[in-house]
Amino acid sequence: MKYYARRLTFYVITLWAAISLNFFIPRLMPGNAEDIFRAKMARKGELTPAMEKSIQLLFGSDDQSSLWDQYLRYWNNLLHGDLGTSITKFPAPVSELIGQALPWTIVLVGLATVLSFVIGISLGAWVGWRRGTWVDGIIPASTLLQSVPYFWLALILIAVFSVNLAWFPIIGGYDTFMFPDGPVATWEFFSSAVYHGFLPALTIVLSSVGGWLLGMRNMMVSTLSEDYITTAEAKGLRPFRVLTTYATRNAALPSLAGFSVSLGFVVAGSIVMEQVFTYPGVGKLMINAVQDKDFALMQGVFLVITVTVLAANFLMDLLYGFIDPRARHNG
Amino acid sequence: MIRSKGRTRLLTAVALASGLTLLATGCGSSGDDGDKGSASKGDGVLTVWAGSQTPIVANFNPYAPTVLHAALGGVYETLFYYNKASAEAPTPMLGESFEFNEDGTELTITIREGVTWNDGKPFTAEDVVWSFTNDTSKPEYLASAEVVDPTTVKLTFTGPQFTNEFALLGASWMVPQHVWKDVPDPVTFANEAPVGTGPYTVQSTSDASYTIVANPDYWGGAPAVEKVQYLGIDANTSAESLLKTGKVDWAGMFVADPDALTADGRLGYINTPQDPTVLYTCANVDAGCAGAQTDVAVRQALNVAIDRGVINEKAFVGLAGEISPTFALLGRDDKWISPDVEKVSPQEANAAEAGKILEAAGYTKGGDGIYEKDGKKVELTLTSVEGWSDYNAAAELIAAQAKAAGIAVTASTVTWDEFSDSRQTGSFELIMGGVVGTSVADPFQIYRDWFSGEYTQPVGTQLESGEWNFSRYSNPTVDAAVNAAAATNDEAAKKAAYATIQTEITRDLPYIPLVINATQTFFDQKDFTGWPTEGDLYAFPPSWGSVSAGVVLSTIKPTE
Q: How far apart are CA B537 and CA B346, in angstroms?
A: 28
Pick among B8, B142, B207 to test the A interface (most A CBs inside 10 A): B207
Residues of B in Cβ contact (< 8 Å) with A170:
238, 241-242, 245, 247
Residues from chain B that touch A34, judged by Cβ atoms under 8 A, are 465
CATH of the domain at A158: 1.10.3720.10
* Residue among B32, B241, B275 minimizing CB distance to A170: B241
DSSP structure class, residue A156: H
Count how many pairs of residues, chain A against chain B, have C-beta atoms within 8 Å. Answer: 228
Residues in a beta bridge with A209: none
Rounded CA-CA distance A162/B520 in Å is: 25
Shared domain check, A59 and A177: no
Residue A88 lies in a domain: no
- With b meaning 16 or more CB within 10 Å and e meaning fewer, what string describes B148-170? eeebbbbbebeebbbbbbbbbbb
Judge: A278–B233 Cβ closer than 8 Å, yes or no: yes
The CA distance from B74 to B553, in Å, is 8
Domain annotation covers residue A10: yes
CA A87, CA A34: separation in Å to the nearest integer?
Answer: 10
Residues A115 and A152 in one domain: yes
pLDDT band at residue A75 using 50, 70 and 90 as cut-offs? confident
Give the C-alpha distances (Å, rounded to integers) separating B487 from A102, B104, B256, B557. Answer: 57, 7, 43, 43
- b/e map of B46-66 (b: 16 or more CB within 10 Å)? bbbbbbbebbbbbbbbbbbbb
pLDDT tens string B312-365? 999 999 999 999 999 999 989 999 999 999 999 999 999 999 999 999 999 999
Looking at the fold, whether A103 and A62 belong to one and the same domain comes out as no
- Residue A196 forms part of a structural domain: yes
How confident is the model over A252-266, as a mean pLDDT? 79
Same-domain status, A263 and A121: yes
Tell me how many degrees the CA angle B136-B137-B141 measures, rounded to the nearest 5: 120
Which residues lie closer than 8 Å to B247 by C-beta, 6 or more apart? A170, A177, B40, B47
Quick check: is A154 in a domain?
yes
Query: What's the rounded mean pLDDT across residues B409-435?
Result: 90
Residues of A in contact with B17 (CB under 8 A): 202
Are A75 and A177 in a shared domain?
no
Q: Taking CB atoms and an 8 Å cutoff, what residues of chain A touch B246? A: none
Q: How far apart are the CA of B416 and the nearest CA of chain A, in angstroms? A: 9
The per-residue pLDDT for A327 is 65
On chain A, the residues whose CB falls within 8 A of the CB of B434 are 43
* Residue in A50, A161, A178 closest to B36 by CB: A178
Q: From residue B118, how far is each of B191, B192, B222, B402, B553 by CA, in Å?
A: 14, 14, 12, 59, 17
Do A109 and A247 belong together in one domain?
yes
Identify whether A328 is part of a domain.
no
Dist. CA B62–CA B187, nearest whole Å: 9
How far off is chain B from A233, nearest CA to CA, in Å?
Answer: 27
Query: How distant is the Cα of B533 from the closest Cα of chain A, in angstroms?
Result: 21
> What is the arithmetic mean of pLDDT over B516-526?
93
Residue A129 lies in a domain: yes
Q: Of the residues A79, A106, A133, which one is the last residue of a structural domain? A: A79
Chain B contact set for A45 (CB, 8 A): 274-275, 436-437, 439
- Show the domain range for A23: 2-79
Same domain, A149 and A58: no
Interface test with A, best of B234, B275, B278, B419 (most A CBs within 10 A): B234
- CB-CB under 8 Å, B40 with A177: yes
Dihedral, A220, A222, A225, A228 alpha carbons, nearest 10: -70
Q: How confident is the model at residue B127 (pLDDT cuts 50, 70, 90)?
A: very high
Cis before residue B223, ω within 30 degrees of 0? Answer: no
Question: Tell me, what amino acid is at B123?
Answer: F
Task: Tell me whether residues B235 and A278 touch, CB distance under 8 A.
Answer: yes
Residue A165 lies in a domain: yes
The reply to whether the predicted model has a pTM over 0.80 is yes
> In this predicted model, what pLDDT tens digit does every residue of B205-264 receive, in sequence order?
998 999 999 999 999 999 999 999 999 998 888 999 999 999 999 999 888 889 999 998
Rounded to the nearest integer, the mean pLDDT of chain B is 88
* Mean pLDDT calculated for residue range A97-119: 90
**Same-domain pairing of A195 and A68:** no
Complex ipTM value: 0.81
| Helices B308-315/B389-404 angle, 10° precision | 150
**A73 and A98 belong to one structural domain:** no
pLDDT tens track for A46-71: 566 666 777 776 665 555 667 788 88
3-state secondary structure labels for all residues of B392-422: HHHHHHHHHHHHHCCCEEEEEEECHHHHHHH
Question: What is the structure's pLDDT at A179?
Answer: 86
Q: Which of B32, B139, B434 sits opposite A192 (nearest CB)?
A: B32
Both A66 and A99 in a single domain? no
**Of A179-188, A197-206, B115-124, B393-402, which gets the smallest average pLDDT?**
A179-188
Compute the nearest-CA separation of A267 from chain B (Å): 17
Closest Cα to residue A51, out of B93, B139, B79?
B139
Probe site for chain B from A29, A41, A48 (most B CB atoms < 10 A): A48
Question: Based on the domain organization, do A158 and A52 belong to the same domain?
Answer: no
Nearest neighbour of A158 by CB, restricted to B54, B241, B545: B241
Report pLDDT for B22: 36
Of A48, A90, A135, the CB nearest to B59: A90
Residue of A48, A101, A167 lying closest to B167 (CB–CB): A48
pLDDT, one tens digit per residue, over B68-94 is: 999 999 999 999 999 988 888 999 999
Using CB atoms, which residue from B139, B190, B245 is nearest to A91? B190
Chain A, nearest residue to B277 by Cα: A43
For chain A, the domain total comes to: 2
Q: For residues B354 and B359, give the distance between their C-alpha atoms in angstroms, rounded to a whole number.
A: 9
* pLDDT in the model for residue B13: 41
Statement to judge: residues A44 and A104 lie in one domain: no
Torsion over CA: B236, B240, B245, B248 (sign): positive
Closest-approach residue (CA) in chain B for A285: B55
Q: How confident is the model over A130-148, as pLDDT tens digits? A: 888 888 888 888 888 888 8
Separation CA B213–CA A177 (nearest Å):
15
Say which of A89, A141, A163 has its CB closest to residue B57: A89
Q: Please report whether residue A87 resides in a domain.
A: no
- Contact between A38 and B465 using a beta-carbon 8 Å cutoff: yes
